[in-house]
């Protein structure tokens, strides 16, 4: 749903190609989901940071918070 909203507003929502595009193109900001299907958002973030990608990032999750 968020991807659809972002696309409707003119933003790129790239899905599974995100890691590749994050490494090969410049963006103003990245939005990652913590629970991505193929590769966890934290692993994507770790790979981006290990390759010196310093783009600001918003990390989202629908996980329940521990009480």
pLDDT tens over the chain, length 67 residues: 888 888 899 988 887 888 899 999 998 999 888 887 778 888 999 999 999 999 999 988 876 767 6
What value does the CA radius of gyration of the chain take, rounded to a whole number of Å?
12
Instruction: State residue 13's pLDDT score.
Output: 80
Domain ranges (residues) in the chain: 2-60
Instruction: State residue 16's pLDDT score.
Output: 80
- The helices-and-strands tally (H runs, E runs) of the chain is 3, 2
For residues 32 and 57, give the distance between their C-alpha atoms in angstroms, rounded to a whole number. Answer: 7
pTM of the model: 0.77
């Amino acid at each position: 749903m968020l991807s659809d909203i972002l696309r409707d507003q003119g933003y790129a929502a790239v899905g599974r190609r995100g890691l590749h595009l994050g490494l090969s193109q410049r963006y103003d900001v990245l939005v990652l989901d913590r629970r991505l299907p193929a590769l966890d958002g934290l692993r994507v973030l770790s790979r981006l940071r290990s390759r010196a990608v310093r783009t600001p990032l918003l990390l989202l999750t629908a996980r329940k918070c521990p009480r």
